[in-house]
Structure 1
């Protein structure tokens, strides 16, 4: 008689081999029956029924086992998953038939720790009534699930809890039943001493080919990059020096214009026109920089921009001649309004920063008050905990007495169950014999049907081979001058089609040559347009650079003479409130130090929060200063752009057109 643990091991092994995608259930059970011929009829039936049940009810068994691995079985092996599936099936569908005694033998023959953990999880009344019932109702009718599965499990739940308690006692080395049996003394096996292994001949170590060393240039930057960086730094310094000198020359020219007459103005105007070329030669001689290359789109875009600006300026002059009003007064008023809005915005930002600081001080004071209240609550909780522990100890003693009485009742019921078990075993043997006879008859019918199918296939194959053996004409003669004979108006022979294709290719070549000539003419016209646009761009850049330098110098003088705004009243009030809250917080800290000198966690936390808020305050002050000076930076940024354009303007004269 094979042990119960061996039966379960065989079932788990067969379930691991089952592949539902490539194997049907009937074939799998037939193969398993062939492997289980060494067992007797009862054991073979038990194994096959359990296998079939685990496969049939796989969906609802997976619900329980997957939840077990997520909650209580996080450290269990996934290779033992089918073991828990088998135990779940026996507990759900076979517990009434097997009986608690037979089921407990099966459970005790396996690992006690694993079975105790799984049964405690599965026979939890709360789980059975809630999520297990809901999940099973997705697959079967909820009323059927409740009557046939959940209610029987709840009836067996108290008795299974006793089994779980026995397993727990075994794990804790506190077995309830003491067996008086003789202890067997182990003896050593009389084994022959193995011969020492021969030392194998070492294999020759393969000699690798000598590799070429890594070139030194792999880990070093190229020389050209370093040279370009040095040239870039040198050119930047030379450009800065040249920019300072050009500013002085521009202002000198501006003062001379106001003192000379009309004839002298005309002469200076001509000299200013010729000045970019002279400046370009000077820069080219001093700065050995690579010229800027502009593509066609950039040249046309910049030319269109300057053309629009020129049209706008002409339109503005025409409006002024016709009697329109100069918008300079409105622009000055608009600038003043922007300045006031900026001052209000700065004051608002400072108020927000101070409000945050004030809220921090209030939070620290409130936190200190909460600490004192928590101390009082902790004392009350300790007293309640002591009372609850006393009540729990009395309840535990009462439960142990009830369990002892219940164990005595169960032992009496086991004695009466032996006779019913013998009758049930005889009835099962009779059923097994009838099922075996029906299976043999079904197998015989299946074999006859399969032989009939094979015979029909053999006849069909012979007919196909006979058809294939007939000779067939493989060569077909084609006349290229004949038409297809499909009855269409546009039918032509292959020879005529080739002639038409040749004529079409010649016409296509002529069209391509004409298109090529047209593209060349368009390209020449475009290059001429780009050269003219470049000349206009160089003139516009020179004039815009001079105007921008004068405006920038004027704005600097105005910005230096401007006064800083006075602090707002809201800021001053908030600063006073913060000082008062800080004094209150310091008093509270002194009181806490006097009352609770041992508690050092809260002060550390408060000091950390204080440092954190200090850093936030510093960062906000930096942002405030940056925002305060942001307006001047934004005004200077667009003015520097024309000066940079003036610096690059001599180089752009020599640009290459793509």
Structure 2
């Protein structure tokens, strides 16, 4: 792949250096030969042949590549212009000599996305048989273009289409695409000035804070000094005065008004939410009773089972850690053995490489001798070809004269045929004009009667007359009105059923509230003959409230 890629790259480079205004083709090829001495003889022959062909048929190649950049290659770079010329030359003039497999290798050695786009454009049968053929016929003779270039390209078009599909699958699978090398920018250090050292800032002066005033004696203010004196022991009044905050203001007495028993109006969501709450409470209580009936055990059994499982997990962790430690030792020993084996294998590979290098040197020497012999043969063949150039030129001149005479005869025959066809067309036009004039002279009825009950007869499915259409529309409107009335009745019935359900749930909620209130009142009534202190009564009331809430 790289072999053909280097050859194509060399051809593209040389085409970029050629200037048609200053250089002639023969001089350019002669001056270019010394630059290719470093390459092998087959590479030199291939490059010279492709380069001379591209320079000779540059006008033909320019037609195709310019059209490609105008139509499908608008986003392609102009740097690849000569690459597309080379591919166009190989496909047009060298495809049969190279063979399709070698042509595929050359295509795959280049960037796949560019080659896929250009081949899809160039081997389009519509383009080949229309404007490409016409443009090439302006430069060369039409028969020559058709027989030597267009027909071979159309014959190779199916195989090239298979190659294009293969390239598209390669690109879709995300395989690496050959890209041209780009010069990497070399970073350079910035020439920055050395910053000046920062000056030490002047410390700010410490602000002077005023001394706080000492706390004075504040008289104790409070409700009922007689009661306070009973609570505070004698001799500790001074200490208490110092601990009490300085200013204590009395809060004004608050008056609480009992609200009237105003009934609260609940909406639908509140009623359903409260009913669901009572339902959940009843279900929880029933579940708890069922568990007790089934013989639910104590929580201590679960704790014992949990401890046993934890001990078992710890033992398994210790065993796993010991296993990992032993595996680590084994892997360490295996790594040592593998390193020793690797050193031995490297020694053997180094000896094999040395032997292969000696064999390669011998092969290179033999190849050089063969290349020198082939170069001598090529020089002799070129000298013989130069001697036979004149004979070939005379043969070419005779062949071209014969071809020109044949083309002249064919052109005369075509002109006669075209003249006869033009006369026939003119006669047909005259007949048509006379028929049209005769039709115009015939009388035409000014108006047309419309029958609303008649079917138009356009050949469409479901055709009907205007009267039938109006009747069907009237029936459709009546059906729609009936459907709307039925839907309205269904909505009214649904609303009535919904209101009935809400009324039933309200009755159930009122019954539940009354039952809860009775239960709370029973839990709050104390036993007769006993008066509990305030603290115990509050605790008992709070406990009963929690039970009722539960």
TM norm structure 2: 0.38
- Name the structure, 1 or 2, with higher relative contact order (CA <8 Å, separation 6+): 1
Q: Which has the higher helix share?
A: 1
TM-score scaled by structure 1? 0.33
Larger Rg: 2
